[in-house]
Amino acid sequence: MFDKHVGPYVDDELEVGTRIEFDEHFDACEVCQERLAFELASRDWLRESLKTDVTEVPSNLRANVLAALDAEEEGHEDLAEKIGRASCRERV
């Protein structure tokens, strides 16, 4: 049960009743307290690491993404024509 709900618990997304049950359990269970502390620390670390300012991207990133999208669309040209979608290169 812990593994299924720990993410929503950490993100404060559980329904009130379920959260109260978890809070009561955590108060009494040292093992789950440690696991919860680990999950909270992991989420904090991830959030902080995502704040890193990335100012440089590879010069060929745009071309590579467009080429990959065009290659993906090649197999679906009939569908693209039916719905009036232009190729990726035509859209940008």
**Residue 46 shares a structural domain with residue 7:** yes
Q: Is the pTM of this model over 0.75?
A: no
The 10 Å Cβ neighbour count of residue 18 is 14
Is 78 within the bounds of a domain?
yes
pLDDT tens for the chain, 92 residues long, are 667 778 888 888 999 998 999 899 889 989 888 888 998 999 888 888 887 766 677 788 888 888 777 777 666 555 445 444 454 445 44
pLDDT one-digit tens code per residue, 62-83 = 888 887 777 776 665 554 454 4
Query: What range defines the domain where residue 11 resides?
Result: 2-50
Is 56 within the bounds of a domain?
no
**Residue 68 shares a structural domain with residue 42:** no
State residue 53's pLDDT score: 67
Is 85 within the bounds of a domain?
yes
State residue 20's pLDDT score: 92
**Residue 41 shares a structural domain with residue 80:** no
How many residues are present in the chain?
A: 92
Which residue in 44, 41, 38, 32 sits closest to 2, CA to CA?
Answer: 32
Q: Which helix (H) or strand (E) holds 37?
A: helix 30-50
Distance, CA of 82 to CA of 87 (rounded, Å):
13
**Residue 6 shares a structural domain with residue 42:** yes
Distance, CA of 79 to CA of 73 (rounded, Å):
9
**Residue 10 shares a structural domain with residue 34:** yes
**Residue 45 shares a structural domain with residue 78:** no
Is 55 within the bounds of a domain?
no
